[in-house]
Amino acid sequence: MRAIDVSMPMFDGMPAFPGDPAFVATPVSRVGRGDPYDLSSLSFGSHAGTHLDPPSHFVPGGLSVDRLDLGALNGPCRVLDARAEGRTITAGTLGALPRGASRILLRTSNSARWARRFEFFEDFVGLGLDAAVRLARHGVRLVGIDALSIETDLTGRFPVHHELLERGVVILEGLLLDGVAPGRYELSCLPLPVKGGDGAPARAVLWSASRRATPTSDRVDRRPRP
C-alpha cells in the first residue's frame, strides 16, 4: 500500500479563508541561541488548512469534532473527478455515484490551481445544494473537497453546510488532490481532538495499492511549500 498525503502544509503565510485567523508559529526556545531544545508557540484558527467541519460548526447541539465517530472518517473512499463548468458542482456533475460509497472526495480544478500557486483564490469551485442533497440521500457519511470551504453560496445562509451537517455528513475541506487519479482508496483522517471543537485541522492520507494513483512516487514531497 502506498501513502498519498493530501493534506495542506501549515506555515506562516499559508492560505486562509478570508476572515479566519492566520497561522503563526512563534519561536519560544531555540538550540541555536543556547536553549536546550527547540519549542514553538502555534496560533491558528479551528478551520486552518486541511480540516474537518463537524455538525456543531453550524448545528446548535451538534456533535463537536472530538465526539465524531472515527469510523466515519476512516475507511474505503472514492475520489471523483468533479471538474465543473463554472464554480458549482451540480448533481449532474457528480455522475453515477458508486454504490455503497460512504466517503466521497471531490477533485476539482482547485487542486491544479493550488499546485501552481499556493495562495487563496476567491473564485474556487464548491458544491451546489442539489449535489449536497444527492450525496446526503445516497448515504454518504463524509464529503471532502479541495477548497478551504465547500460553500460558494453568496447569500450568507450556507445552505450546503446546513444540508450536509444537519444530516450528520461530516465535511473535509482543504484537500490537495492534484495528480490523484479518480478511483478507490483507503482514507486515513484524524482531526485534532479539540474538546467541544467546532472544527479542527486534520492529517488526511490516501492509501492505494495502485501505482497509477499518482504520477510520481514522491507525492508528499511535491506538496506546496512556503
Cα distance between residue 60 and residue 165, in whole Å: 11
**DSSP one-letter string for 134-190:** HHHHTT-SEEEESSS-S---SSSS-HHHHHHHTTT-EEEE----TTPPSEEEEEEEE
Q: What are phi and psi of 66, to 5 degrees?
A: -75, -10
Cα distance between residue 137 and residue 135, in whole Å: 5
Cα distance between residue 200 and residue 216, in whole Å: 30
Residue type, 148: L
Residue 212 is predicted with a pLDDT of 55
Residue type, 128: G
Considering the candidates 47, 51, 57, 161, report the single residue annotated as catalytic: 57
Query: What is the β-pairing status of strands 170-173 and 51-53?
Result: antiparallel
DSSP element (H, E) containing 36: none
Residues in the chain with pLDDT values less than 50: 215-222, 226
Q: Are 191 and 52 in contact (CB under 8 A)?
A: yes
**DSSP one-letter string for 204-223:** EEEEES-TTSSSSS-TGGGS
Chain position carrying cell 480544478: 109
Cα distance between residue 193 and residue 115, in whole Å: 29
Question: What does the block give as the cell for 43?
Answer: 496560533
Residue 211 is predicted with a pLDDT of 59
57 has catalytic annotation: yes
Query: What is the β-pairing status of strands 103-107 and 75-81?
Result: parallel
Q: What are phi and psi of 39, to 5 degrees?
A: -150, 140
Say whether 98 sits in a helix, a strand or coil: coil
Q: What are the chain's domains?
A: 2-9+46-222 (3.50.30.50)
